Amino acid sequence: MSPSAVRTAGARRSRRHDEPADSDELFRRLRSAQSAPERHALCDRLVRAWMPMSDRLARRYRDRGESLEDLRQVAALGLVKAVNRFDPDQGKAFATYAVPTIDGELKRHFRDCSWSVHVPRGVQEARAKVRAVCQEIGDRAPVEAIAERTGLSHDDVRAGLGALQGYSALSLDAPLGPGADAVLQDALGQTDDAYQAVVDREAVRPQMYALPRRERQILFMRYFQDMKQAEIADALGISQMHVSRLLSATCERVRRAVVEDPAYA
């Protein structure tokens, strides 16, 4: 590299996080400040002075699906934390301490706040590795090739590939395919109320078989043949009042037996 290129690179590095002229003095005053108003005022001056640095760090992540304004706010929060925690007596430059703090805040934001659904951290890390390899060798790379390059197991690669499409949620009005008239909502299933009826029926079945023949016959006529109590009374040669009492007592007996059965508790 030529001397001029070295000087240019050095100038770029020096401009990367230019330190405000009075930064050291402000940090010393902040450390010795006794009153809350004075601390707040000094913190505010320091945050404003170093804001260009946090903005530059935020712009590194601008192509990852989040708005730049949101990223700037997250980076500013990291800057505030760095200002409050920095100890100038440790002998380090503020930028050396602040850059990892702000960068970590931005990464936490992507990890915890920007996914449409919660994804375990291990899957997020697998996604990042898989994404890097796919950008290098193509989106249709086989699982075996990705596993070899990333050092992940085949299952972790598949989880990472699945997470590539899970960063943001699709609208229910999104088409199912190019030119398709149907939308995603049309392909979603609905809760079938008959499932609960199956459970209830299987719970009641053994209790029904345990009933005396007449009570079982009355329940069948009332709830399966949809006969009225007067019609049941005429068919069995008993009073309607007796049918009503038998229905109430039998239903309560079956209900109690089901509730007390540990298999359906």
Give pLDDT tens digits for 191-250.
Answer: 777 787 888 888 888 888 888 999 989 989 998 899 999 999 999 999 999 999 999 999
Average pLDDT of the chain is 82
Residue 10 scores a pLDDT above 50: no
pLDDT score, position 177: 75
Residue 7 scores a pLDDT above 60: no
pLDDT score, position 265: 54
pLDDT score, position 116: 67
Residue 149 scores a pLDDT above 70: yes
pLDDT score, position 17: 56
Residue 4 scores a pLDDT above 50: no
Q: Give yes or no for a contact between 203 and 254, defined as CB atoms under 8 angstroms apart.
A: no
CA dist., res. 29 & res. 88, Å (int): 11
Task: Between 187 and 246, name the one with better pLDDT.
Answer: 246
- Other CB atoms within a 10 A radius of the CB of residue 198 amount to 10
28-41 pLDDT, tens per residue?
A: 888 888 888 998 99
CA dist., res. 32 & res. 3, Å (int): 44
Which two structure tokens, joined as six digits, stand for 105?
């805040």
pLDDT score, position 49: 92
The arithmetic mean of pLDDT across residues 83-109, rounded, is 89
3-state secondary structure of 245: helix
In this structure, the dihedral spanned by the alpha carbons of residues 225, 228, 234 and 239, taken in order and rounded to 10 degrees, is 130
Q: Which amino acid is at 257?
A: A
pLDDT score, position 5: 46
- Which of the four pLDDT bands, split at 50, 70 and 90, describes residue 12? very low
The arithmetic mean of pLDDT across residues 59-71, rounded, is 84
pTM, rounded to two decimals: 0.47
3-state secondary structure of 212: coil
- Which of the four pLDDT bands, split at 50, 70 and 90, describes residue 167? low
pLDDT score, position 15: 43
